[in-house]
Structure 1
Amino acid sequence: MNKVELMMKSLQKAFNQSSDFTVRQVDWREGTSAILCFYSSLVDAKEAQKLLDTIYARLDTNKPFWSETIMTTLKAFSLPQAIEHICNGETLIIIPDTGEMLSLTIVNRVHRNPDEPNNEHVLRGSHEGLVESVETNLALLRKRIHNPSLVVKSFSIGKETNTKAYYLYIDRVIKAETLAEIEKRIDAINIDYFYSVGQLSDELEDSVWSPFPQLLNTERPDRVVANLVEGKVVLITNISPTALIAPVTFFSFYQSPDDYNGRVLVGSFYRIVRLMSFIAAVFLPAFYIAIISFHFEVLPLELSNQVKNDVNEIPYRPLIEALILEIIMELIRESSIRLPQSVGQTIGIVGGLVIGDAIVSAGLVSNLMVIVVALTAISSYVVPSVELNTSIRMLRFPFMVLASLFGFFGIVIGVVVLLIHLINLSSLKQPYFSPIVPFQPKEIYKVFVRGPFFKPTVQVTSFSSPKDDSVKNGDTP
């Protein structure tokens, strides 16, 4: 067995005889042979053939043919290096006699159009969205930031999958401690297989067990840029359109790109509405349960009589009543998400109406409880962040239990525990509940108000100002 055949067999063995792995012997210059190997599923075969024809046409000339092509000369052949380049979608030409290895980048990339994300619609502004291609995503970002200070650095995740990921920041803006912390956490990532952006979130978050997300997820390039100019770090991968942004605060999740595409007063009004929706979504069922169970006297006399007439025929406690409706709401929501879009919308509307009417007619829940749960559901969907929306829906259950056991006192206990948790929480070691704790008088109003852009700067709701004051902007969407 000659050297070429021996190397071909070792390559086939290394790639486990995969059907889409192609390895073949080709003629090279001066009677020597070379090995051509690539994944047919990753390489554009037509373009590869055109390039090889060009190479063959110049083999007998003295001019280096790779100076006019996209071929690069690698180091002497090594099997691990060959595997890495082939898995990245490159085509390798290996010359066993000399040990030379040449690489052709002719990747057959499959990606979709940068359409607007389904879960981040806006009325005005950009309607582009990130996709599962890093090259496309970087182009969308570079189109918005024409500045060499935008730094893009790559790293690999997964010992076995070797998935490419990138972190981005603006050099003149990011604070040194923020950059050092994210690089430290990236270096500490130790997983074998990477297949979901959620794994990256778990590796980078300060508290995995907290119900509150400490990284902001977005698929909007304009939102990514707005956070980059705030001195934050953005992480993107080649397998998901989701970008992860850090560090963030609790109030970052209540800002929307629409706040900055409309009038100042309108944006400020809806920001306040969103913050109020958090109170309604978490505490409204608990307040209802506490009033019905312990504190009927807080209601006006006429209203209390109507409420008593409505709840007297219900055979069990208000907590059970609320749990039944909340679980039904979650089932309807989950089914509408999993089903095809056209069917899912029908299930959500018809199922809610039919089940709601039937359950009231059967005397299992009161009309007032249906109203409370419906208002709670609507309030939870006001939040622009899907991650925080899920956290809010989960938080209302312990408050309902506390209200059922201790009334208003139980709600107060829950609020104290919640505030302690939010104050102790951090994102990349930056305070999560800033600018309230630690209190920043100059920044606190920006939690509720979207200030006007009188000059080319933005306003900040984050914990600290960017490193370079000349590029400091303000609160970001």
Structure 2
Amino acid sequence: MSFFKNTPKQNITLNENDKQLTNDLKKNIEMIHEYLCQTEDLMFKKMSFNKMGCTILFLDSMVKKDILQSSVIGPILEKKSGEIQNVVKTTELKFSSNISEVGASLLEGYCTILIENDAIAKSVVVGEIAERSIEEPANERNILSSHDGFVENLSTNILLLRRRIKSPQLKVKFFTLGKITNTKVSMVFIDKLANKKILEEVERRITFIDVDHLLSIGDIEEFIEDNPHSPFPQMLTTERPDRGASYLTEGKIILIVDGSPRILIVPITFFAFYQSPDDYNSRWVLGSFFRIIRFFSLMISISLPAIYIAIISFHSEVLPIGILYSVRVSLEYVPFSPLVEAIVMQIILELLKEASIRLPTPIAQTLGIVGGLIIGTAVVEANLVSNSMIVVIGLTAISSFVAPVNQMGTSARLLGFPVMIAASLFGFFGIVLILMVLVMHLCKLESFGTHYFSPLAPFKLEDLKDTFVRLPTWKLKTRPTDSQPVYKQQQRHTRGWKK
């Protein structure tokens, strides 16, 4: 992969006339009002300061009225003269003579103070947007790990990371994307640990994003991922601060989009999607056991329906005679081929899953019972699907939900369809062929210059200690090399007390 082969495009703002404030108060107000397209929620508060006209501008929906009154309006009415920075009560005060900068401040929840015969606007932060309380993510629940999660506020999300990594090396870099939305995006990393080439590459891809709107983390993920046609996610999304902090200490980079409770972690490998925070909060034997279960569930969710189809269609001799007799009896009155059975049941499963997500919780629970019992029983009694196929699809669905990251579980279910088709055409040979293609694709795939299938391709023996199994924590003396950290050693004396 070649880095730095292009130069980023220059961002062009929608307001090309970059006007400046003048000494005329009335004209300044008109220019700001015009910049905001004559919006009717721009409020004006006129008063006197230093025996000259003074106007406070603010967007009604973006400020807290009590903070505005106590921090700005009240002190100005009380003192009536002096230096404005000594009068208002605020932790942040901006000075600007640029109309676009003043407008941007108003849109961020500031109020702007304009004074007659003064071409400098003073912007005071008085906004306080109500946000969701910090709670555990519903789709990434863990037993032994922390129970807090990211929210939609960018500053709060950075706070959750800084609470865990109290280091002066934790660096935050901001970008603004979207000509219309002006969405703030932050790149978080540990300065002297993260690889500089990967940092520059991530920043280069972000600066190439030239869009009107960017509202979610999914938008930026599609813009900067290496292979948009791959079925495998090449960036890990999570709502867990503990997971984000642990990857930061490995030298990885985090991207946070204001307004989204999910963060992006880059670069990432395939095996990271089957690691859970609970693996490191329980003893290494238990953590390794459950991790092996997850990898086993991946193979089941991709290949179990295909194996069933191949056995029924081509290789029935591999089954013991008793099991073969039961399967043949259940298939006697089914008019469809095993492939059609499997595809129809997989589609029904996806329909039930999507419906349960959209419906209110009580109705979703009822739908699960209806789908699992009534529909399952009805299709078997109507001889549309065999009993054995119901069992196979049920095991496949359960296995796909085992993945700690929902993206990978969904990808596994989708990959099951081409494997089933190959099995119906060529039997076991077709399954092996498709799985070989998938492994070849995984070996070729990259994430920001990092091999996606590392540490298996290329093979790195030292990184296997935290891949399929997790060795004891005191054995993990070096960081994983997939993110190419500057310093590999992360532990020194751990169990020296035994000596």
TM-score (norm 1): 0.94
**Identical columns (%):** 41
Please point out which of 13, 17, 20 is paired with 2:41: 20
- Compute the displacement of 1:301 (Å): 2.4
- Matches of 1:66 and 1:428 in 2, distance apart? 50
- State the match for 1:44 in structure 2: 64
1:114 maps to 2:134: yes
- State the match for 1:463 in structure 2: 482
Say which is worse superposed, 374-383 or 175-184, in terms of deviation. Answer: 175-184
Distance 1:471 1:55, change over 3 A: farther
2:460 maps to amino acid: Q
- Matches of 2:146 and 2:315 in 1, distance apart? 50
2:432 maps to amino acid: V
1:438 maps to amino acid: P
- State the match for 1:440 in structure 2: 460
Please point out which of 237, 244, 257 is paired with 2:264: 244
Q: Summarize deviations over 1:57-100 as a string: whole Å, max 9, x none.
A: 3333479625864462513x222111111111111112242212
Please point out which of 403, 412, 420 is paired with 2:432: 412
- Matches of 2:477 and 2:178 in 1, distance apart? 37
1:59 maps to 2:80: yes
- Compute the displacement of 1:279 (Å): 0.3
Q: Summarize deviations over 1:249-289 as a string: whole Å, max 9, x none.
A: 00000000110111110000000000010000000000111
1:59/1:65 contact within 8 Å kept: no
1:58/1:65 contact within 8 Å kept: no
2:158 maps to amino acid: L
Distance 1:131 1:71, change over 3 A: closer
Give secondary structure in 2 for the equivalent of 1:9: helix
Please point out which of 104, 114, 122 is paired with 2:124: 104
- Matches of 1:337 and 1:38 in 2, distance apart? 40
1:229/1:472 contact within 8 Å kept: no
- State the match for 1:9 in structure 2: 30
Where in structure 1 do 4 or more consecutive aligned residues deviate above 4 Å?
Answer: 61-64, 457-462
Give secondary structure in 1 for the equivalent of 2:471: coil
Which structure 2 segments of 5+ residues have no match?
A: 1-22, 493-499
- Matches of 2:232 and 2:92 in 1, distance apart? 48
- Compute the displacement of 1:191 (Å): 1.3
- Compute the displacement of 1:18 (Å): 2.4
Distance 1:380 1:460, change over 3 A: farther
Alignment length, in residue pairs? 469
> What does 1:95-174 align with in structure 2 at a 5 Å threshold?
95-174=115-194
Distance 1:202 1:458, change over 3 A: farther
RMSD: 1.9
Distance 1:11 1:142, change over 3 A: same
Which structure 1 segments of 5+ residues have no match?
A: none
- Matches of 1:393 and 1:63 in 2, distance apart? 62
1:22 maps to amino acid: M
- State the match for 2:230 in structure 1: 210
- State the match for 1:284 in structure 2: 304
- Compute the displacement of 1:310 (Å): 1.6
Give secondary structure in 2 for the equivalent of 1:436: coil
1:376 maps to 2:392: no
- Compute the displacement of 1:324 (Å): 1.4
Say which is worse superposed, 254-263 or 463-472, in terms of deviation. Answer: 463-472
2:38 maps to amino acid: Q
Distance 1:442 1:316, change over 3 A: same
TM-score (norm 2): 0.90
- Matches of 1:104 and 1:67 in 2, distance apart? 8
- State the match for 1:184 in structure 2: 204
1:430/1:463 contact within 8 Å kept: yes
Please point out which of 56, 74, 90 is paired with 2:95: 74
- Matches of 2:306 and 2:92 in 1, distance apart? 67
